[in-house]
Amino acid sequence: MTVRDALRFYSSDELRFFFLSTHYRRDMDLGGLEPAARRFRALRRAVRLLSSPGKQSAGKVAPPVEFVSALNDDFDTPRAIDAVEALVSDASSKRDRAARTRTRAAAASAMEILGVDLFG
């Protein structure tokens, strides 16, 4: 399968997420493409549910410390993505709108570093 073929079925963000979900030192199995795309869509939905855009602005928020730590550890993108997912999962159970908005911004900031748009 070529990237051009894959783009007929998956968005560019889903493909980026798939590539980043496997550490660069490991072999990549294209059988993981569909599960990675589903995982990305779930993350995108969860982030969108954290707060309504425009109601409150968190401004520019730094990515989570665990995310940065993973990238500093041999560019461990799978662990970095796990850190974003854990942050979003934790925030989704909270009622504090400001905290949820900050989490939304932090998740977007982290994924933007990886070239993935959570709001596209």
Which of the four pLDDT bands, split at 50, 70 and 90, describes residue 59?
A: low
- Residues 96, 93: Cα–Cα separation, whole Å: 9
Average pLDDT on 56-77 reads 88
pLDDT of residue 60: 76
pTM for the whole structure? 0.89
- Residues 107, 51: Cα–Cα separation, whole Å: 12
75 CB contacts (<8 Å, ≥6 apart)?
24
Which of the four pLDDT bands, split at 50, 70 and 90, describes residue 35?
A: very high
Ranges 49-53, 77-81, 109-113: which has the least confidence: 49-53
